[in-house]
Structure 1
Amino acid sequence: MQTLNIPKRLASFEKMQQSNWKTQILSFIAKQKLQPSYEEYLSLNQALQQGDEPMDKLLQWIMQNPKQHRSWFETALYKGLDHLPHEIPELKMFFEQVETPPAWVDQNKMQEAIQFTYRLGINSGFVLRDLSLMMGYLFPGFNQPLILTGALNKQANKRLAETTKWWIDITEPNAFDRFNKGFTSTIYVRFIHSLVRHHLAKSEKWDSETWGLPINQYDQAMTNIAFSGVLLLGVRALGILPTKKEIDSFLHFWKYAGWLMGIDEKWLVNQEADGWRFLYWMTFAHPNPDETSLALGSSLSKEPFERPYTRFTEFNRKLAYRQHLSVTQFFLSRQKMKKLGLEHQTTAWFAYYLLARNVLVYTGARHSQKLDEFLQKNGRQMQKLGFTLYQGDSLQLASMHQ
């Protein structure tokens, strides 16, 4: 019998089959068993050791002549294949693939998802920052590339600016049209992931026996779910109840975003329950929080003190610091906050304010078209304003397009 090559980070199949009252309740809610079948376990194991084959193959060609080939890649990305000095098969093969959306893409759903995103306003930023990102830091497998590439020492506002700039780019109208920023930003991020994977995989500092492949399929898929499924859970907790249609459109949007990012379709979800299963598996595919969780969590919590407020700077920085801690505390336990190096608050006051406000406003918007239109317009303005708080002097660094 062939011996399975399993990274140390992944628990045994037998351990993942364990059940208790919590898993039974969650399985009932999800209407499916949370534990993986043996076939799914093998697929999970493979995903931890698998990268982005099309982009990784293209990167091998780029590395044959890094300066010239990268220049041609960027020309093809930002201007098109027609602007290359001659036909280049490697670039032609890759771009013909990513320029052709899958047959399942529904443009109406994509537009509906963007409108829903705008209506969320500042709530999306709080959930993505204070729940999705903070929770992600509790799983050290995500943190390893940050450590070994030196990003751990980068200011938290610059890390947030990079991610938020991409998020803003892809949530603009028609963002994924071929030469729009959403498309080019996503392919550029995909290229950077492959470049990091290439360098770390051959580095003596990378422990492949423990972590598998850097920025692997499963970790990328879970990041995608953090932007979609986790956000949906978070906004519900803050008093916003999406309709079935909004949920369907939102998940569809992120399914295509994940596909364009190079995630295999089997890890892209159509239903929330599928995302919940994959999230449950995370607890078995990552070790317990460690010093990297503490360092990244603490750094992110202090990010407000780097913001370039123009008025009442110190007051606004301290207020924002307390607001974000409040939201994180609302979602995470005292023990998890401690593992992230976060200061526990007396009460999650700001989260409860958002909850009360959202119940009132979003319930009203169900019965008022004018209020709903206001939420979309004002919500987008607030999302872009949030980006300016992160970017500071890092606009060029944060921009993922030319």
Structure 2
Amino acid sequence: MQTRPKRLAPFEKMLKSDLKAKILGYIAHDHIQPTYAEYLSLNESLQTGDIAMDKVMSWVMQNPREHRKYFETALYQGLEKLPHQIPKLTEFFKQVEQKPSWYDQHKIDDSLRFTYKLGVNNSFILRDLSLMTGYLYPGFNQPLILTGALNKQASKRLAETSKWWMDITEPHAFERFNAGFTSTIYVRFIHALVRFQLNKSEKWDAETWGTPINQYDQAMTNIAFSAVVLIGIRALGIFPNKREVDSFLHFWKYAGWLMGIDEKWLIDKESESWKLIYWLRFTHPDADESSISLGSSLSKEPFERPYRYLRPLQQKLAYKQHLEITQFFIGRKQMKKLGLKAQSASWFAYYLFAKNALLYTGAKRFKVLDDFLLKNGREMQKIGLELYKEQSQQLASMH
């Protein structure tokens, strides 16, 4: 067996069963603990980056200024716009331009309609559940610490994520030269650049953390956008049908594939995600100072929002609402690990549950209400991006 990063628990420890493992195993109708073959695969994933893009990055860094320009020309204009054929770029773009055999455009379109109907609920879950929970696992935080991104304003980080999310959820976003495709490949390029730099840095502790932005951590990030959102919306009173679940997971499977995640770490069923989520506790140490720094910073992000009217009041209200949602999802004990102030109760989350249960149950019976959720939901998502308009424009200029 290859070297095991210190962050990964021994196989014997992962085999031990507890109440959580039994409950998840019963729900998933599968063993939550890994087989030895799965454990070896998990260990390998923690020490593997994005092989295809890492090859491109090795070539880029031979002549960073010129080769990066060639890469961006190929990405945004096409291989035919290069001054001459470049085998490394031809190989990479021919691979990502060819959609996998399992890709289903109908499911992608269905997923977009479902996503639009979620409106701001999707944003609440990504921010207050997925992001906050992710910060509890220090392995995700290490690249942010060593690249200086830890000190970046939370609104800036949210703007970058929100801009990419909006790009990929536009109609036909994954067509070759549309923003969803180019934004995803650009993010993938930046991940490879960070990985290249950190692997050469004396500050990166590979013995503890494995490879920066590795396959497993990327897979878990993808699950945070997909299966975790499905868990979250149910907790907030929205109950999708099987077709909606299947199409939503399919969308994120392709987004993950395009981002460079190996297919064996991409999921088709929710139950597959529960096993990978359970493994999280064995692949990261306990929350640390980086968790507190990131969690506290994100909690105070509403005070950076440029509301047009009654700004101080709206900022304070949003700050409290987000904390209540986070507490609703992760509880006071985990809130403390993130340096967050406990709330008297999760009133706003209870309000959202009652509101959503009424609206989304009604939409299953009345088409006019379903149409309203579809149109209004997307408009609210675009309005949400406006809160970070300046930052998202800066990100767009990078393209």
**Which residue is 1:199 aligned to?**
197
Q: Kindly report which structure 2 residues correspond to 1:87-236, keeping only aligned pairs within 5 A, or say none.
A: 87-236=85-234
Which runs of 5 or more structure 2 residues have no equivalent in the other structure? none
Displacement of 1:165 after TM fit?
0.3
> Does 77-86 or 382-391 show the bigger shift?
382-391
Question: What is the rounded CA distance, in whole Å, between the counterparts of 2:150 and 2:379 in structure 1?
Answer: 30
**Which residue is 1:273 aligned to?**
271
**Which residue is 1:37 aligned to?**
35
Structure 2 counterpart SS, 1:205: coil
1:398 aligns with 2:395: yes
How many residue pairs end up in the alignment? Answer: 399
**Which residue is 1:244 aligned to?**
242
Displacement of 1:68 after TM fit?
0.7
**Which residue is 1:287 aligned to?**
285
CA contact (8 A) 1:34 1:277 kept: yes
Displacement of 1:401 after TM fit?
6.3
**Which residue is 1:373 aligned to?**
371
Displacement of 1:262 after TM fit?
0.2
Question: What is the rounded CA distance, in whole Å, between the counterparts of 2:103 and 2:160 in structure 1?
Answer: 27
What residue identity is the alignment partner of 1:397?
A: Q
**Which residue is 2:385 aligned to?**
387
Displacement of 1:397 after TM fit?
3.1
CA contact (8 A) 1:157 1:303 kept: yes
What residue identity is the alignment partner of 2:367?
A: Q
What residue identity is the alignment partner of 1:156?
A: A
Question: What is the rounded CA distance, in whole Å, between the counterparts of 1:84 and 1:256 in structure 2?
Answer: 27
Displacement of 1:395 after TM fit?
2.7
Displacement of 1:25 after TM fit?
1.5
Displacement of 1:335 after TM fit?
1.1
What residue identity is the alignment partner of 1:174?
A: H
CA contact (8 A) 1:162 1:397 kept: no
Question: What is the rounded CA distance, in whole Å, between the counterparts of 1:21 and 1:271 in structure 2?
Answer: 23
Structure 1 counterpart SS, 2:91: helix
Question: What is the rounded CA distance, in whole Å, between the counterparts of 1:401 and 1:93 in structure 2?
Answer: 24
What residue identity is the alignment partner of 1:398?
A: L
Question: What is the rounded CA distance, in whole Å, between the counterparts of 2:271 and 2:71 in structure 1?
Answer: 38
Question: What is the rounded CA distance, in whole Å, between the counterparts of 1:302 and 1:193 in structure 2?
Answer: 26
Displacement of 1:326 after TM fit?
0.7
Displacement of 1:23 after TM fit?
1.2
Displacement of 1:396 after TM fit?
3.3
**Which residue is 1:86 aligned to?**
84
Aligned alpha-carbon RMSD (Å): 0.9
Give runs of ≥4 in structure 1 deviating > 2 Å: 395-402
TM-score, length of structure 1 as denominator length: 0.98
Displacement of 1:136 after TM fit?
0.2
Question: What is the rounded CA distance, in whole Å, between the counterparts of 2:180 and 2:109 in structure 1?
Answer: 14
What residue identity is the alignment partner of 1:137?
A: Y
CA contact (8 A) 1:255 1:268 kept: yes
Structure 2 counterpart SS, 1:6: coil
Question: What is the rounded CA distance, in whole Å, between the counterparts of 2:2 and 2:169 in structure 1?
Answer: 41
Displacement of 1:373 after TM fit?
1.0
Question: What is the rounded CA distance, in whole Å, between the counterparts of 2:20 and 2:246 in structure 1?
Answer: 26
What residue identity is the alignment partner of 1:313?
A: R
Change (3 A) 1:114 1:400: farther
What residue identity is the alignment partner of 1:64?
A: Q
The C-alpha deviation readout for 1:176-218, integer Å capped at 9, x for no partner, is 0000000000000000000000000110100000000000000
Question: What is the rounded CA distance, in whole Å, between the counterparts of 1:34 and 1:227 in structure 2?
Answer: 21
CA contact (8 A) 1:188 1:401 kept: no
The C-alpha deviation readout for 1:300-322, integer Å capped at 9, x for no partner, is 00000000001000000000001
Question: What is the rounded CA distance, in whole Å, between the counterparts of 2:318 and 2:393 in structure 1?
Answer: 25
Question: What is the rounded CA distance, in whole Å, between the counterparts of 1:248 and 1:333 in structure 2?
Answer: 29
> Does 20-29 or 294-303 show the bigger shift?
20-29
Question: What is the rounded CA distance, in whole Å, between the counterparts of 2:251 and 2:360 in structure 1?
Answer: 22
Question: What is the rounded CA distance, in whole Å, between the counterparts of 2:340 and 2:364 in structure 1?
Answer: 37
Q: Could you tell me which of 46, 49, 52 is aligned with 2:50?
A: 52
**Which residue is 1:359 aligned to?**
357
Question: What is the rounded CA distance, in whole Å, between the counterparts of 2:393 and 2:232 in structure 1?
Answer: 31
What residue identity is the alignment partner of 1:396?
A: Q
CA contact (8 A) 1:61 1:69 kept: yes
Question: What is the rounded CA distance, in whole Å, between the counterparts of 1:390 and 1:273 in structure 2?
Answer: 35
Displacement of 1:21 after TM fit?
2.3
Displacement of 1:400 after TM fit?
7.5
1:302 aligns with 2:300: yes
Identity of aligned residues (%): 65
Which runs of 5 or more structure 1 residues have no equivalent in the other structure? none
Question: What is the rounded CA distance, in whole Å, between the counterparts of 2:13 and 2:357 in structure 1?
Answer: 41
Question: What is the rounded CA distance, in whole Å, between the counterparts of 1:401 and 1:168 in structure 2?
Answer: 16
CA contact (8 A) 1:81 1:92 kept: yes
